[in-house]
Amino acid sequence: MSELHRLTSEYIQSEDRFRLTGEDQDGNALCLWLTQRLALRIISHLVAEISISSPEAIQNPSQDSDTSQLLQGFAQQAAQVDITPQKAVPSTSATRALLIQEVDINRATDGSVGFIFKDNVKEKISLGFPPQQLRQWLIMMHSQWLLAEWPANVWPEWITGKGTELELPPETGKPIH
């Protein structure tokens, strides 16, 4: 089983698919192609999992929806601020490519998430994200998703940024002393 250590995620319009170009420990590149159907399932699963088992969800045991949205939104904003731009993993016509048919997703007790991508001949490629990197990957996938113009209802407000802005009361016109 190959293990990826770096990943570039991008929507390729001519294929109408996501291409995840990963690099293994030896510097070899591999392209994993995700269809919309599979990408929807992956994103839905990850969003649901983060919503109930992330530290932010655990901090809100009553599961108050507004509080959950706010806490998750703050965690997403913190993840976005921590994104460090990196050089993209290059993909050429010689890069080995797999059309992914199935994905196993496992969550560790420390909150990290592991993926095992499988193609139709059951080749397995693994990839892992610590919690902060998972949030960052979701941010990147969301931006590419918007470029793809795929149905956006899979994305919660705490990722889209809608509804997490703090509303200030209207001006009263009275000076504050």
Q: What is residue 121's predicted lDDT score, i.e. its pLDDT? A: 86
Sign of CA dihedral 89, 90, 94, 100: positive
The share of the chain scoring above pLDDT 90, in percent, equals 54
Q: What is residue 174's predicted lDDT score, i.e. its pLDDT? A: 41
Give pLDDT tens digits for 13-56.
999 999 999 998 888 999 999 999 999 999 999 998 888 777 77
pLDDT over threshold 90, residue 111: no
Q: What is residue 67's predicted lDDT score, i.e. its pLDDT? A: 76
Per-residue exposure over 18-28, b if at least 16 CB sit within 10 Å of its own CB, e if not? bbbbbbeeeee
Q: What is residue 54's predicted lDDT score, i.e. its pLDDT? A: 76
pLDDT over threshold 70, residue 170: no
Average pLDDT for 111-128: 92
Q: How far apart are the first and last CA of the chain?
A: 67
Give pLDDT tens digits for 69-102.
788 888 888 888 888 888 999 888 878 999 999 9
Q: Which residues contact 80 (CB under 8 A, 6 or more apart)?
A: 136, 139
Domain ranges of the chain: 2-158
